[in-house]
Amino acid sequence: MTRKAGILTLTIFLFTVTLVPVKAQTTLTFVTWKPSEPQLWDEIIARFESHYPDIKIRREIGPHSSTQFHDLLTQKLKNRDPEIDIFFMDVVWPAEFASAGWALSLDSFFSQEERQKFLSGAIAPNTYKGHIYGLPLFIDVGLLYYRRDLLEKYGFSVPRTWQELVSQAEFILKQEKDHQLTLKGYSGQFKQYEGLVCNMLEFIKSHGGAILLLNDGRALDAVRFVRDEIIGKIAPRGVLYYEEPESLALFIQGNAIFHRNWPYAWREFSDPTKSRIAGKVGIAPLPHFPGERSASTLGGWQLGISKFSRHPQGAWKFIDFVGSPEIQKLIALKIGKAPTRKELYQVPEILTQNPQFKVKQAFFGADPRPITPVYSLISHVLQSYFSQVISDPKSDIRTLADRATEEMRYYLSWEREQ
Amino acid sequence: MGEGAVKRAAFPYLLLSPAFLFVVTLAFFPIAYSFWLSLHRIVFVLPHLGESFIGLENFARLLQDTRAWQALKFTLLFVGTTTLSELFLGLLLALALHQPIFGRGLIRAIILIPWAIPTVVSSQMWRFLFNDQYGFLNLLFFGNHPELYRAFLAEPISAMVAVMAVDIWKTTPFCALILLAGLQTIPQELYEAAKVDGAGRWRQFVHITLPMLRPTIVLALLFRTLDAFRVFDSIYVMTQGGPADATLVLQFYGYKKMFAEGLLGYGAAISVVIFLFSLVVSIFYLRLIFLKK
């Protein structure tokens, strides 16, 4: 008798235990990098969950570095992990994720009409073979930051061309030598990593060249200019291993006249507790070569849905919510990330907080890196080529460029192969 | 043959089978699978290409891959320089620690610290030490002249020296530990007999310590060589193979091909090359250990 009762109790208990989760909410897993501003993301997710009480967001935090985040995320997707619903994509990944069959097409969720409200430059890299795979949440563009105080002191206006930038820097360095031995002319990101491609793209594009045609005269001259005039004259050799933080540190300590960085940097300079140059910094579009136009590399992060997700509807609700004007505005105001919705560039509140967004041509006309599923292969060829050319003052640019161009052509041919 | 005899004959195999299964699943199968993969063209991000069998084409391409050659050259330089330096410095350390000095136990423990710190952590630490703006090494070399500060990881040559120096710093204690264990197995009587015969310290070292230590030295070399071939984490953290691919090692190149670029076949071909190199080195060392006996 007691045994029967025991079995009965156990059955009832098991029943209740298995029933409870069925009644509860859906939990969506969101793969994100380690944010520098965790409170903001706590707030966004809390807002979403109070708006949609039947959905819970579980965050899976990956590394902060884009390359390492890519390795982690693609590993999970290669394993067809059904636990993943939503993920961040760097601007160069959607084509790859679409081609590999990892990202779900968002065509039925993200209407053409809605896409019109976004910067076209931000939508393009999310589109592959006519379908859309990601919603751009914020964009990055390359900007020129300069020491307004030093330029004013010597009566210079903001440099329009790279040549002007170099000659201004050389002049100022000569004059300031007695006060400040540690002052350098230019600080950017030239380590052998993805950031190097972004920096070099700006030089090549602003000389009318193309990054996939490295052995064309325009691209060759731009690369030679970086080697001989930027690295060879006004930048410290240290830039050859600088990523964003190191290059920013040089500028923020008051040790560089010109600095190339993304929009986030503005907040860092303006914070007097971190910066020795608060109030002395100006912002401008990056220079170009004579007769050409300025170019800014497009960066930024998109939200996508895994093809293996069991809850694509719920996942879209989250993406739609995070990409809404309200949340994008919140992000812009709190941490100064540039929105992807055009209307937000009219909001005075956002612009006073983020004067860097006023460099409209950079945000509205940013240049994407090649949109192809084999981008990571292309990028490694480019990184290797650029690093070899600029770190050796006697490098044989022509031969190296021929070889790199040929290798990229080979990889790109796979995409067309049947 | 009776039933009992069959059982008796099968019994040893039964006992061996768990170990056999273990080796097959964890060692032979992955190696064989890598070989198999290396004969295919598999591009993860282009599934429409399928997984075609291409024979040795990956290896043929590898032979013409200038970055692979550069990686191979630096890997060999890295293996040679670090293993020999670690062995030499480790031997000096081991001899010192073998002496009955005050606080020997504590010193032995302290010396192991570099080896005990996870490589990712210590590499990050060294990356900071090498920095050209706030790096301690610059302060050490150039003191109060910040205009002279150098970016050690920015120049190909100094970056190569730097990553090798970090490996030597980190793994010398490991060699010292193995050699110390070897020293302790040498019977004290041999030294006493040598002393009676009037042999000095140097002759004792050359004629007793070194020959007796030979198997241990070869063992340490074997461990270190195989390990150095697989160097990955310090490169990953400190240089990512740059600048100008100067510190690119095979293992990191293979990783990039396989995981970042999704070229499974090509990445596997690189792994196979690393495996073959390691195999040759192991056979060479193992013969050194066993031939004498």
Note whether A391 contacts B45, CB cutoff 8 Å.
Answer: no
The whole-angstrom separation of Cα A186 and Cα A257 is: 6
A283 and A158 in a single domain? The answer is: yes
Same domain for A313 and A237, yes or no, is no
Number of domains in chain A: 2
Residue A74 lies inside a defined structural domain of this protein: yes
Amino acid identity, residue A91? V
**Residue B123 domain-assigned?**
yes
| For B156, nearest residue in chain A (alpha carbons) | A391
Q: Is A73 helix (H, G, I), strand (E, B) or coil?
A: helix
Distance CA A17, CA B287 (A): 62
> Are residues A290 and A154 part of one domain?
yes
Taking residue B5's Cβ as centre, other Cβ atoms within 10 Å add up to 9
Decide if B179 is inside a domain: yes
Interface with chain B: mutation pick from A391, A395, A414, highest number of B CBs within 10 Å: A391
Of A342, A364, A386, at which residue does a domain stop? A364
**Domain shared by A125 and A247, yes or no:** no
Q: Is B143 left (phi over 0), alpha (psi -120 to 50) or beta?
A: left
Domain membership of residue B145 (yes or no) is yes
Q: Where residue B243 falls among pLDDT bands split at 50, 70, 90?
A: very high
What are the chain B neighbours of A92 within 8 Å (beta carbons)?
none
CB contact under 8 A, B47 and A67: no
Residues B47 and B65 in one domain: yes
pLDDT of residue A236: 94
> Are A341 and A378 found together in one domain?
no
Residue A369 lies in a domain: no
Nearest Cβ partner for A380 among B146, B155, B256: B256
Domain match, A279 and A150 both? yes
Q: Is A215 exposed, middle or buried (0-12, 13-18, 19+ CB in 10 A)?
A: middle
Identify whether residues B126 and B7 lie together within a single domain: no
Pairing of strands B40-41, A338-339: unpaired
Number of domain units in chain B: 2
Same domain, A247 and A212: yes
Name the token pair of A390. Answer: 């600029």
A270: closest CA among A251, A294, A255, A289?
Answer: A251
d(CA A20, CA A24): 6
Q: What is the pLDDT along chain A (418 residues), one digit of tens a residue?
A: 456 666 656 665 555 555 554 446 899 999 999 888 889 999 999 999 999 999 999 999 998 888 889 989 999 999 999 999 999 999 999 999 999 999 999 999 999 999 999 999 999 999 999 999 999 999 999 999 999 999 999 999 999 999 999 999 999 999 998 888 889 999 999 999 999 999 999 999 999 999 999 999 999 999 999 999 999 899 999 999 899 999 999 999 999 999 999 998 998 888 889 899 999 999 999 999 999 999 999 999 999 999 999 999 999 999 999 999 999 999 999 998 999 999 999 999 999 999 999 998 999 999 999 999 999 999 999 999 999 999 999 999 999 999 999 999 999 999 888 6
Mean of pLDDT values over B55-83: 95
B289 burial type by CB count under 10 A (0-12 exposed, 13-18 middle, 19+ buried)? middle
CB atoms within 10 A of CB B8: 11
Are A368 and A91 in contact by the 8 Å Cβ rule? The answer is yes
Q: What is residue A341's predicted lDDT score, i.e. its pLDDT?
A: 97
Q: Which of A70, A100, A415 sits opposite B260 (nearest CB)?
A: A70
Chain B residues whose C-beta sits inside 8 Å of any chain A C-beta: 43-49, 66-67, 131-134, 146-147, 150-151, 153-156, 159, 239-245, 256, 259-263
Both structure tokens of B218: 């070869």
- Whether residue A87 is found in the same domain as residue A192: no
Q: What percent of chain B has pLDDT over 90?
A: 69
Cα–Cα distance, A246 to A223 (Å, whole number): 22
Residues B90, B179 within the same domain = yes
Both tokens of A230, joined, read: 């930027």
Per-residue pLDDT, A181: 82
Burial B176-205 (b: 16+ CB within 10 A, else e): bbbbbebbeebeeeeeeebeeeebeeeebe
HEC sequence for chain B: CCHHHHHHHHHHHHHHHHHHHHHHHHHHHHHHHHHHHHCEECECCCHHHCCEECCCHHHHHHHHCHHHHHHHHHHHHHHHHHHHHHHHHHHHHHHHHHCCCCCHHHHHHHHCHHHHCCHHHHHHHHHHHCCCCCCHHHHHHHCCCHHHCCCCCCCHHHHHHHHHHHHHHHHHHHHHHHHHHHHHCCCHHHHHHHHHCCCCHHHHHHHHHHHHHHHHHHHHHHHHHHHHHCCCHHHHHHCCCCCCCCCCCHHHHHHHHHHHCCEHHHHHHHHHHHHHHHHHHHHHHHHHHHHCC
Domain span including residue A258: 143-295+374-416
Residues 200-239 on A with a CB inside 8 Å of B are: 236-239
**Rounded alpha-carbon distances, angstroms, from residue B276 to A3, B34, B66, B270, B271:** 64, 12, 20, 10, 9
Tokens of B60: 């043929």
Tens digits of residue pLDDT in B113-132: 999 999 999 999 999 999 88
Kindly give the residue spans of alpha helices, DSSP state H, lying in A337-396.
348-353, 360-364, 375-391
Say whether residue A65 is in contact with chain B using an 8 A CB cutoff.
no
Q: Is residue A18 part of a domain?
A: yes
More confident of the two residues A184 and B199? A184
If asked whether residues B240 and B265 sit together in one domain, one would say: yes
Nearest CA in chain B to A93: B45
For residues A101 and A307, the answer to whether their CB atoms sit within 8 Å is: yes
User: Do residue B284 and residue B222 come from a single domain?
Assistant: yes
The answer to whether the Cβ–Cβ distance between A193 and B146 falls below 8 Å is: no
Contacts of residue A63 in chain B, CB cutoff 8 Å? none
Domain that holds residue B22: 1-29
Q: Residue A278 is encoded by which pair of tokens?
A: 């608060």
Does residue B53 share a domain with residue B2? no
The answer on B92 and B14 residing in a single domain is no
The shortest C-alpha distance from B47 to chain A (Å) reads 6
Max CA distance (Å), chain B: 90
Is the CB of residue A359 less than 8 Å from the CB of residue A283?
A: yes
Chain A residues closer than 8 Å to B151 by CB: 236-238, 240-241
A276 falls within a domain: yes
Full-model pTM: 0.89
Q: How many CB atoms lie within 10 A of CB B250?
A: 24
CATH assignment at residue A124: 3.40.190.10
- In chain A, what is the straight-line distance between the N-terminal and C-terminal CA atoms, in Å? 71
Whether B94 is covered by a domain: the verdict is: yes
Q: Which residues of A touch B44 (CB under 8 A)?
A: 74, 78, 100
Please state, in angstroms and as integers, the Cα–Cα distance from residue A20 to each residue in A55, A301, A349, following that order. 15, 37, 46
Q: Does A380 touch chain B (CB under 8 A)?
A: yes
A99 shares its domain with A177? no
Instruction: Quote the pLDDT of residue A176.
Output: 93
Residue ranges of A 77-116 with Cβ closer than 8 A to chain B: 78, 96, 99-101
Q: Are residues A148 and A134 in the same domain?
A: no
A163 and A290 co-located in one domain? yes
Q: Over 50: is that where the pLDDT of B264 sits?
A: yes
Q: Which residue of B45, B239, B256 is in closest CB contact with A100?
A: B45
Candidate from B133, B239, B242 with C-beta closest to A249: B133
Chain A interface, best mutation among B41, B45, B64, B74, by max A CB count within 10 A: B45
Q: Which two tokens stand for residue B21?
A: 């299964």
Same-domain check for residues B201 and B277: yes
User: Can you say whether residue A341 is alpha, beta or left, with left for phi > 0 and alpha for psi between -120 and 50 degrees?
Assistant: beta
Contact A374 B244 (CB under 8 A): no
CA-CA-CA-CA dihedral for A336, A340, A343, A348, to nearest 10: 10
Q: Say if the Cβ atoms of B45 and A392 lie within 8 Å.
A: no
Calculate mean pLDDT across residues B243-264.
Answer: 94
Q: What is the pLDDT of residues A208-252, one digit of tens each?
A: 999 999 999 999 999 999 999 999 899 999 999 899 999 999 999
Residue A168 lies in a domain: yes
Check whether residue B192 and residue B283 sit in a common domain: yes
Q: How many residues comprise chain B? A: 293
Higher pLDDT, B293 or A332: A332
**Does residue B69 belong to any structural domain of this protein?**
yes
| CATH code for position B137 | 1.10.3720.10
pLDDT, position A23: 47
**Nearest CB to B154: which of A238, A249, A418?**
A238
Both B14 and B48 in one domain: the answer is no
CA distance B165 to B162: 5
Asked if B51 and B24 sit in the same domain, the reply is no
CB distance from A173 to chain B under 8 Å?
A: no
Evaluate the CA torsion angle B99, B102, B106, B107 in order and state its sign.
negative
Answer whether A138's CB lies under 8 Å from A350's CB. no
Among the candidates A345, A364, A383, a domain finishes at: A364
**Is residue B34, in this structure, part of any structural domain at all?**
no
For an interface test with B, which of A75, A182, A241, A387 has the most B Cβ atoms less than 10 Å from its Cβ? A241
Q: Are residues B100 and B174 in the same domain?
A: yes
DSSP state of A352: H
